[in-house]
Structure 1
């Protein structure tokens, strides 16, 4: 028995040496996947079917049978690949064993197939109940292999004939195969587990590092891609990655440089590095490791930097600059830093793109607001001047007051800020407008305000309420034959300010995307500034009333 144990141990050691060597290659990572995909399962099938076939070739002939380590391949294939993969691995290795003949050929083919399928079913069960990590535990694999080997011996006794010869064979090989195969499979899984733990640790470290950089860089480049923001980002990156130096450029000059060599890499200088020029020209990562690809500083012959990674920064597929990571001559450039650098470049590119989009959105909103400010209805101005001209003849003093109100309205309309104003200021602007309109409509226009005084200090975007009241007068009251009423109410509901402008004309007609320039801009501005749950909601009862509800968050200035 000892000689058989030694022979099987030698065979097992050969496999483990092969596994150890393969574990040092990226290929081995496929075996550590917790939930392998189809391409990974194909690789697992090929690898462990190969192990099963090799085990049969190198097995020891005993009484017209073969003592071997084939079970290792079948069980590992099932545990790592799942039921289908395990079944196919066991079937392939079993058919190969069957082709060798002998009185145990059928029994061995059946048992090997059953071992692969059983291991796969166990793996599937562990995944389904949330105990996926258990299949990577060497102690579990050891006892599971013991059980599978006992099942194989039972199948040999049930299937192989003559029974006496089968019993004699089991008594000879069972102890050796139980011990060696169980230990070998457990050691095999131990290697897989250790590599998996290493990959998980590196992945976790990389992810945490990237998340820290992302968290610290949020909003920095959104304010602009310039020397000030680039210097902040470069400082964050060098603190998190611990590389020798970090540089950021646009297409023409160095925007920021922090680390080794900052005495001669001065922000503002034109780009002189051929690596950087090629990186932007071809839009690809350039790497000079200082060994296979020599690196030399283009600014100083005695620069202490010895390797450089240059990654393009892009916006809408256009290269707008680069980020560069350096290491000193006496330090190797780690692959994890290379991968992290590429991830950082994508992160910064997205932030720059977001900043550009936000700036464009801001400019668009500002342009639309300026358009709204300049949207003094020619008919309103014409009607106001005509009204004042008529009143001048019979009541010069009143006409003078109306001219002052019109002047005040126009002055506020043109000079008003585009930021937040108090509700009180907004009502003052509206009052100037309504004083002119009341003179034109005489007794046909009535305005009612029901807004508690405590809400007058609430901040809201300029030109939120005024365009809606103007819309109610222009498209509602002015079209009526009888008297018209506009009612403006305000109330606070939790942290939400709700304003409502209601007229008694009921002439609003809903036309998608064309509710009027004023209404559209107010709704769009509120949603852009505060979120989709805020903005305007319009309800109309034809010939009875039109209500425009305005929702925005309560914003009250802090008391000094």
Structure 2
């Protein structure tokens, strides 16, 4: 029982690391299955690290180490396939072999085998178009359970003397199988939650972008003027939920919708140097309100605190800008920043189409 608790404590370290990684861009490649080399390299490096950590955090018992190394090996195979699983398992196995003990060779072989087992399941599910099951915690629990049973069999078959190996397996088999299986399943559960959030986020982003495109079709093809710009600005404002939206030509504000519309008035000359710089350099300018402060040039008490300025083009010529604002103490979302660039490209295409009509 004491060994189970100790191994579960090791598992908690894995889960904390998994949770922390889920908040960083490092984990993004793991949210999808890919055969690209970059994806495989990330899987190899990440899960090899987990393999080695599992050994270092292990408990020394009878000249052997009870550990959670299997989590890294199996997960490496599940995400990267048999080649990556073999490489991760071999790396973790060689590291374990370097530490010595009467089970060193058996552990090296079994860790490699665990990576391959995860990789074989990867191939099996992908070939049957069931790749989504790789993110199923129950599947991960099952394959890790099997991999750990295989490890115990290999320990009995390879480690010498047999009596000592049998005594060791009798002591560590149940704790290691339980800890590694539950640990791998919970690890995957964290990744699965992150994947679900990411997919919902992407779906919302796509839906908004398509709605904006659908509502704005044909408006600017009738002319890049105040009336049409106001329609476009209102559509973008309603769909993105930003603080304010402005559209300018090269000289004046054509439309402004949202916070600050009492002093940002259409048909008034452009007073923002950042807007002029964006058109002159044909480049996106982001004033985040902290490192690059935004200061309204029309009113000192303006409630807007940050701005994203994107040039509008008709072919190669810059003919104006689209500007998104957020109020003070509110940051731009990454989705709205990416969407704004797409909207600018859409509007530029519509303007160019109108010019050729």
For normalisation by structure 1, the TM-score amounts to 0.62
Q: Does 1:238 align with 2:249?
A: no
Q: Which residue of 1 aligns with 2:26?
A: 27
Q: Which residue of 1 aligns with 2:48?
A: 49
CA distance, structure 2, for counterparts of residue 145 and residue 165 of structure 1: 25
Cα-to-partner distance string for 1:338-381 (whole Å, 9 max, x where unaligned):
2221221122222223333x32xxxxxxxxxxxxxxxxxxxxxx
Q: Which residue of 2 aligns with 1:265?
A: 264
Q: Which residue of 1 aligns with 2:354?
A: 355
Cα-to-partner distance string for 1:264-291 (whole Å, 9 max, x where unaligned):
2222211111121121122222122223
Deviation at 1:36, TM superposition (A): 5.2
Deviation at 1:112, TM superposition (A): 1.1
Q: Which residue of 1 aligns with 2:60?
A: 61
CA distance, structure 2, for counterparts of residue 39 and residue 351 of structure 1: 37
In proportion to residue count, which structure has more helix?
Answer: 2
Question: What are the equivalent positions in structure 2 for 1:469-508 lying under 5 Å apart?
Answer: none
Cα-to-partner distance string for 1:32-87 (whole Å, 9 max, x where unaligned):
12325211211111011011112222211212211111100011111112222111
Deviation at 1:329, TM superposition (A): 2.4
Q: Which residue of 2 aligns with 1:204?
A: 203
CA distance, structure 1, for counterparts of residue 120 and residue 208 of structure 2: 37
Q: Which residue of 2 aligns with 1:402?
A: none
For normalisation by structure 2, the TM-score amounts to 0.95
Question: What are the equivalent positions in structure 2 for 1:355-504 lying under 5 Å apart?
Answer: 355-356=354-355, 358-359=356-357
Secondary structure of the 1:202 match is: helix
CA distance, structure 2, for counterparts of residue 226 and residue 36 of structure 1: 49
Q: Which residue of 1 aligns with 2:78?
A: 79
Q: Which residue of 2 aligns with 1:90?
A: 89
Aligned length: 357
Secondary structure of the 1:342 match is: helix
Secondary structure of the 2:266 match is: coil
CA distance, structure 2, for counterparts of residue 220 and residue 78 of structure 1: 52
Deviation at 1:182, TM superposition (A): 0.8
Which 10-residue stretch deviates more, 300-309 or 88-97? 300-309
CA distance, structure 2, for counterparts of residue 166 and residue 109 of structure 1: 15
Q: Does 1:9 align with 2:8?
A: yes
CA distance, structure 2, for counterparts of residue 189 and residue 344 of structure 1: 36
Cα-to-partner distance string for 1:245-264 (whole Å, 9 max, x where unaligned):
11111111111111122222
Q: Does 1:171 align with 2:178?
A: no
CA distance, structure 2, for counterparts of residue 202 and residue 144 of structure 1: 30
The gaps in structure 1 that reach 5 residues or longer are: 360-560
Secondary structure of the 1:302 match is: coil
Cα-to-partner distance string for 1:517-553 (whole Å, 9 max, x where unaligned):
xxxxxxxxxxxxxxxxxxxxxxxxxxxxxxxxxxxxx
Secondary structure of the 2:265 match is: coil
With over 3 angstroms needed to count, the CA separation of the structure-2 counterparts of 1:333 and 1:80, relative to structure 1, is same
Secondary structure of the 2:255 match is: strand
CA distance, structure 2, for counterparts of residue 121 and residue 11 of structure 1: 27
CA distance, structure 2, for counterparts of residue 107 and residue 174 of structure 1: 14
Secondary structure of the 1:264 match is: coil
Deviation at 1:330, TM superposition (A): 4.8
Secondary structure of the 2:245 match is: strand
Secondary structure of the 1:303 match is: coil
With over 3 angstroms needed to count, the CA separation of the structure-2 counterparts of 1:354 and 1:94, relative to structure 1, is farther
Q: Which residue of 1 aligns with 2:316?
A: 317
In proportion to residue count, which structure has more strand?
Answer: 1
CA distance, structure 2, for counterparts of residue 328 and residue 95 of structure 1: 56
Q: Which residue of 2 aligns with 1:130?
A: 129
